[in-house]
Structure 1
């Protein structure tokens, strides 16, 4: 598991707590240690007003406390998770787990007030308490028992999804804030409608997409899910469809991209459901226990960042001629979700490195792009190609075979191990100096 280690202290630091092996005693010790670091941090100016010595001091305090939390969770992660889930009888989602941990294990996580205060700041001015959430979830996911249970929990329908199902069954159309969900025959068409930002992903789109994916998998009339970008408002692409521009960097700069709801919740939520299906609340004897359906992705204009990540979980990828595929996360300074896990299976390691480490982009119609795209057609024929793909994938045997393919390609243990590292690394990256500098410079451009 990725760990954190303390920076060189600027001034005295509280003595690192020594664990006894008794969880109740060690929980109390960690709580006292966290309170002591809180007092020292509160004596410093806000992050935006700190001089270099203040910054050095705050960094040392944060990293020392994260080390203490990491040490506690490394020893007790399964016990902590069992306490929060009543011996895994309950299935709280990520925000609920955080709230339960704040109540039952104070000191293991930032307080609700600390997290709320950070939410009101731009990214560069936040204290960075979300990194501690990464330490927490990294430890839980690193535990085979806790991590597997958490992954299965996040594969269940999101709160609110079931409430839309009756409406969709009656009307075959549901308009969410950023997504349109429409049943056409055996297919559920999910259309991204974040028009103002080239269908880029933000917190709201992530929530709407999980609802849309849930409904597709829950509706027994539907055999195939289709993802496509809607028409956008951007002057350069006005009147044209765009698949996705990836993460909304303006929202990231403004501190509006949530670690829980977006950066981790996206991967454990709707994207993972695309790959591994929907886990019913009551599982019977049949295997696989999750509900699987094949997915078609139709790419107009481009699939950048998170948009391209969706293609790696799709069963049929169609694109208009010249459509761009790109995973620029290395240039942005962050990790492209599960792209590092899934891309090499499709492209091989060498091309994956060129895309992930050097920012290489591919265009539909190029030889190497055939590894990502099943069919390239003229823009006017893309809808027809979607209809044909739906007809080919509607057989019941397709769903069964894609479930087995997903199991073979991405075993649960490999997924859990990757997510355990990702949970920590991504939290650190969104607060790293190079990322903050890059998004501030982008913001300052005329």
Structure 2
């Protein structure tokens, strides 16, 4: 199949024929799986059979998507006229192309099981999104779609405009002095991220960007109730490994949505005009400040890399324990080198080096290091500096130069596949099991 200006040409009959062939093969594979005991009860030989049929099915899916990714996306989006977010896109693909990705029912069943007892159907979603993001037309359209405001944010916008505050459960949003303050309140888990917090974060980022009275956004952690840090503010402990062990961390709704949703919006802003010829621009973005207290671990350290101004308490630290956890640290591999250089990036990601705010190298990750008692003052001073129209346009141009959208798309394509595979790696499952057994918060 060839592509001209994003629209696939060639015969839809070929797409339908190959889709039918794929569906038939996958049905055979599913029948073999269904005849086996549940995963925890399988013998090594039975698990080898399961692994074999899953591998066969994935090779068939990969070949089909290699040949037809543009045609698949074109059909699912009505010729690029419909905007489907990643969850909607996966559901539509399961209906339109049986066997290509798991159904919503299959994913719901997977999420009801501990991570180590799942079949790994989310790997097929990773394969699917890798193929779409690899294609310039489909991938760009999908990235733009994920920059649209969420329905939840649009429904809450009148309340936020009227009152200047919204309680999102694990996150509080307040407007004060022309700034939107996002305070993460997952207090019993040291602000570790889970599916619910990702939804709250994207909603809050949308509201801050949509509200005309907001000029700057500020992200900060609330005071903790966790006994080890009771009364202290914590920025982020990264992914919630307890929930990962329990099978409650979703590949699409957490791992992909996080990168393509609220973090992408922090960098690129909201898509507010779907017209490619819109003037003066299609997106709305604003400067962002991060106030890092106690620590920014894993996903918290990833966040630091996209903020325009980072203030760290003098007793805080940063770490990306990717090698220890066994997963890919989001887009940190894409962004960290430009901040700290290749050698330090490898020390942090591959060897688990922790960087304390008191170290000289910390100035590669943060702009100011202050006494914890002076954080409020430092945030206010930064807010005043960044609340400037010239700051907005220049941060936009800096982000364009540092992170071209095509480079980000190509990275995310490979991330989709690699992270899906890592999510089901035996070492990862063992790590989160041991962390859960020790009752670690993250």
TM-score calculated relative to the size of structure 2: 0.95
1:111 Cα deviation after fit: 2.6
Written as runs of structure 1 = structure 2, the 5 A alignment for 1:168-187 is 168-187=160-179
Equivalent residues of 1:304, 1:328 under 8 A apart:
yes
Structure 2: where are the runs of 5+ without partners? 1-11
Q: Is the 8 Å Cα contact of residues 155 and 277 (structure 1) preserved in structure 2?
A: yes
Cα offset for 1:360? 0.3
Q: Does the Cα contact within 8 Å between 1:156 and 1:281 map onto a contact in 2? A: no
Partner of residue 15, structure 1? none
Selected match of 2:330 from 324, 328, 337: 337
* Residue 276, structure 1, aligned to residue 288, structure 2: no
Corresponding residue to 2:370 among 371, 377, 381: 377
Of the three residues 122, 136, 148, the one matched with 1:156 is: 148
- How far 1:21 moved relative to its partner? 8.9
State the shift of 1:253 in Å: 0.3
Residue of structure 2 in register with 1:245 after alignment: 237
Name the counterpart of 2:4: none
Matches within 5 A, 1:291-330: 291-330=284-323
How far 1:102 moved relative to its partner?
1.2
C-alpha distance in structure 1 between counterparts of 2:177 and 2:289, whole Å: 15
Q: In 2, Cα distance between the equivalents of 1:115 and 1:319?
A: 39
Match for residue 125 of structure 1? 117
Q: In 2, distance between residues paired with 1:216 and 1:397?
A: 19
Q: Would you say 1:69 and 2:61 are equivalent positions?
A: yes
Q: CA deviation at 1:407?
A: 0.7
Correspondence 1:142 to 2:148: no
1:139-172 deviation line (CA, Å, top 9, x unaligned):
0001111000000000111121111111111111
Q: CA deviation at 1:370?
A: 0.5
The Cα shift of 1:113 comes to 2.8
Give the CA deviation at 1:287: 4.6
1:224 pairs, out of 205, 212, 216, with: 216
1-structure distance, mates of 2:273, 2:246: 37
Deviations 1:100-141 (A, max 9, x none): 111111111123332222111000001110000000011000
Q: Is the 8 A contact 1:66 1:132 kept in 2?
A: yes
Pick the aligned partner of 2:14 from 22, 32, 38.
22
Cα distance in structure 1, aligned partners of 2:108 and 2:94: 13
Equivalents in 2 of 1:25, 1:427: separation in Å? 28
Q: How many residues align?
A: 427
Of the three residues 70, 78, 92, the one matched with 1:86 is: 78
Given that 1:173 and 1:180 are in contact with CA atoms closer than 8 Å, whether structure 2 keeps it comes out as yes
Looking at structure 2, the residues matched to 403 and 340 of structure 1 have their Cα atoms a distance apart, in angstroms, of 21
Give the 3 Å change call, closer, same or farther, for CA 305–287 of structure 1 in structure 2. farther
Instruction: Give unmatched runs, 5+ long, in structure 1.
Output: 1-19
Q: 1:21 to 1:84 in 2, by over 3 A?
A: closer
Instruction: State the partner residue of 1:257.
Output: 249
Structure-2 separation of matches of 1:367 and 1:277: 32
- 1:290 equivalent in structure 2: 283
1:409 aligns with 2:371: no
Task: Tell me whether 277-286 or 229-238 shows the greater mean CA deviation.
Answer: 277-286
Alpha-carbon spacing, 1:114–1:364, altered in 2? closer, same or farther (3 Å): same
Give the 3-state SS of the residue equivalent to 1:191 in structure 2: strand
TM-score, normalised to structure 1, is: 0.94
1:217 partner SS: helix
Deviation at 1:289, TM superposition (A): 2.1
Separation in 2 of the partners of 1:314 and 1:377? 17
Give the corresponding residue for 1:49. 41
- Name which of 71, 91, 111 aligns with 1:99: 91
**Is residue 288–residue 403 contact of structure 1 (8 Å, CA) maintained in 2?**
no
Encode CA deviations 1:36-69: one digit per residue, 9 max, x unaligned: 0000011111111111111111111111101100
Return the alpha-carbon distance in structure 1 between the equivalents of residues 63 and 365 of structure 2: 41
* Conserved? CA contact 2:273–2:283, under 8 Å: no
Answer yes or no: is 1:365 the counterpart of 2:358. yes
CA distance in 1 between partners of 2:274 and 2:29 (Å): 44
Secondary structure in 2 aligned to 1:106? coil
1:106-117 to 2 correspondences below 5 Å: 106-117=98-109
Secondary structure (helix, strand or coil) at the match of 2:81 reads coil
Structure 1 residues 25 and 411: CA distance shift in structure 2, 3 A: same
User: SS of 1:225's equivalent?
Assistant: strand
